Copies of this chain bind each other. A is one copy, B any other.
Amino acid sequence: MFELDFRSRKAIYLQLVDKLKQLIIKDVLKDDEKLPSVRELAHQLTINPNTIQKAYRELESQGYIYSVKGKGSFVHPSKKLENVEELKKVREQLKKLLAEAIYLGMTAEEIESLINEVEGGEKYD
């Protein structure tokens, strides 16, 4: 499903959160699609189930997935604009990052072409 960097200083469960979020955003994982079970994904990635659960819990708290005891974890349908807190956080992060990008020399045109590239979300890297 994806690869992890065990040498990275970034925590494994946060790498997982990031990767899964990307898959959801890019619509590789569809609305209400079932994610691998905690134990199954742990086995696939040869890491501990607790670590998977930690990532799933984080994704759930951010509104990207929902979990049902006994059934599994699923992609939360993206009724846009519903997750207001996340949106506020992302807007602040974006503001900072845009300022940094411009400081480092990116032009507004470059950034706008990045937006176009990303818009629609049908790019799978």
Contact = CB atoms under 8 A, between A and B. Distances in A.
Given A25-B103, A94-B97, A112 B114 contact: no
A3 interface: no
Interface in A96-125: 96-106, 108, 111-112, 114-119, 121
B111 A101 contact: no
Contact of A91 (B26, B83, B101): B101
A26 B102 CA distance: 11
A51 to B, nearest CB: 17
Nearest to A108: B115
Nearest to A80: B105
B111 A83 contact: no
